[in-house]
């Protein structure tokens, strides 16, 4: 899950399985102008289904996950100042490979991946308003993933 902040930071909360790093884990990245400023991963987590959660509070972006959609495990934070998330095309959900144009590998074709974007309205999770993008013949890529 990617979010562009109004101060130019681009934050990522991801569930990652990179062949070179072995077991799956939750991962935080913070970028500015295509430069990686911060990277941190959680311990090994085998989660067949999870919610990725990001919030900004008191000048920090917090990164977490939920295995049940109700309880959140906050595993990381990063100072972002008085920033807010920009509702634009760079704030997105991505199913991608490990970067640099690599594509996701979904096994033998029976793997199901559901992507849904929700926000917390103070009392409950609500579907976030989203735009619809039409893929171009070569695919639709904004991030380093494909």
Predicted structure pTM score: 0.74
**Residue 88 pLDDT exceeds 60:** yes
Highest mean predicted confidence (pLDDT) among 54-63, 86-95, 108-117, 121-130: 54-63
Average pLDDT of the residues in 36-52: 80
Which residues have C-beta within 8 Å of that of residue 14, sequence separation ≥ 6? 1, 26, 27, 29, 52
Going by C-alpha positions, the residue among 15, 5, 7, 10 that lies closest to residue 94 is 15
Q: Where are the domains of the chain?
A: 2-127
- Sequence-separated (6 or more) residues with CB below 8 Å from residue 51: 65, 66, 67, 69, 118
């Amino acid at each position: 899950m990617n979010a562009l902040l109004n101060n130019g930071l681009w934050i990522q909360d991801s569930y990652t399985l990179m062949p070179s790093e072995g077991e799956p884990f939750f991962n935080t990245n913070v970028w500015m102008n295509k430069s990686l400023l911060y990277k941190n991963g959680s311990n090994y987590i085998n989660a067949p289904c999870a919610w990725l959660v990001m919030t900004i509070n008191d000048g920090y972006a917090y990164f977490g996950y939920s295995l049940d959609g109700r309880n959140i495990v906050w595993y990381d934070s990063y100072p972002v100042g008085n920033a807010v998330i920009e509702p634009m095309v760079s704030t997105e959900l991505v199913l991608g490979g490990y970067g640099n144009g690599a594509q996701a590998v979904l096994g033998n074709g029976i793997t199901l991946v559901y992507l849904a974007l929700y926000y917390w309205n103070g009392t409950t999770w609500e579907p976030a308003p989203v735009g619809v993008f039409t893929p171009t013949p070569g695919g639709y890529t904004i991030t380093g993933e494909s």
